[in-house]
């Protein structure tokens, strides 16, 4: 790496350190505060902050700096698992319409159960699941995800007590969830249907399983399968 590349990387790392510090300060940060939080010299922090303000990645108000609108727009474009989301959109929508439930496809990301795709049928009495929503780990979706990240297909089925898990939650809703697998058996996530009724509708478990299998057929090949194939072809 030549001197120019090294300086460019240092500037980029400094800018991200500043943005990370601003993201942790909803009330904004003064120059001294953000320099102290990042360990950057105050003149360097000021120069980078003003450049970020000019780009819209940060904003300045009453001598305090905040995350800017362009960074917020970029953040909304982030997806926890783009491949799974694309594969799950249509099956999730069809399951919600067919069963009149709220459907969520979730993954475990940074130790949180995050929604990557969701759909809701009219009249469910439940809110729509939106991308990036965080679901409590104690739900059926969370329990299936925790099981799926710790075992094979057969082990997950044995651990959750069957191919799908029904669990009554304290708020009075019932959630049925099933694991979602890649075609090669790698764990991908979970799909769940939520109903605001004392009992789950008859046949809902099989419909959730069917939606899970549809997602599997639409999923791209898992990275684990690609790595294994590359080893065999050498």
Using one digit for the tens of pLDDT, what is the confidence trace for 83-93? 898 999 999 99
Q: If you average pLDDT over residues 214-223, what whole number do you get?
A: 82
Give the contacts of 116 (CB within 8 A, at least 6 positions apart).
Answer: 79, 80, 81, 84, 85, 88, 105, 106, 107, 131, 189
Tokens 């240092």 correspond to what residue?
Answer: 10
Domains annotated for the chain, with CATH where assigned, are 3-75 (1.10.10.10), 82-227 (3.30.450.40)
Residue 162: pLDDT over 60:
no
Tokens 């800018």 correspond to what residue?
Answer: 15
Using one digit for the tens of pLDDT, what is the confidence trace for 48-58? 999 999 999 99
Using one digit for the tens of pLDDT, what is the confidence trace for 60-108? 998 899 998 887 777 665 666 788 989 999 999 999 998 888 899 998 8
Give the contacts of 231 (CB within 8 A, at least 6 positions apart).
Answer: none
């Amino acid at each position: 790496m030549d001197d120019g590349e090294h300086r460019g990387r240092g500037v980029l790392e400094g800018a991200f350190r500043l943005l990370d510090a601003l993201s942790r300060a909803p009330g904004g940060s003064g120059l001294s505060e953000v320099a102290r939080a990042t360990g950057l010299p105050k003149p360097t922090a000021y120069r980078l902050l003003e450049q970020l303000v000019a780009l819209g990645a940060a904003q300045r108000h009453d001598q305090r700096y905040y995350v800017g609108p362009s960074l917020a727009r970029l953040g909304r474009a982030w997806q926890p698992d783009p491949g799974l989301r694309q594969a799950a959109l249509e099956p999730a929508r069809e399951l919600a319409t067919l069963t009149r439930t709220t459907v969520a496809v979730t993954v475990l990301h940074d130790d949180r159960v995050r929604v990557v795709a969701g759909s809701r049928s009219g009249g469910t009495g439940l809110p729509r699941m939106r991308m990036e929503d965080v679901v409590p780990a104690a739900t059926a979706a969370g329990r299936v995800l925790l099981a799926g990240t710790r075992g094979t297909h057969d082990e997950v089925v044995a651990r959750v007590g069957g191919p799908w898990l029904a669990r009554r939650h304290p708020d009075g809703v019932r959630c049925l969830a099933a694991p979602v697998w890649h075609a090669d058996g790698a764990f991908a996530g979970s799909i769940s249907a939520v109903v605001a009724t004392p009992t789950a509708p008859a046949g809902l478990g099989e419909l959730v399983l069917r939606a899970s299998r549809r997602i599997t057929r639409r999923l791209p090949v898992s990275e684990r399968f690609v790595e294994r194939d590359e080893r065999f072809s050498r």
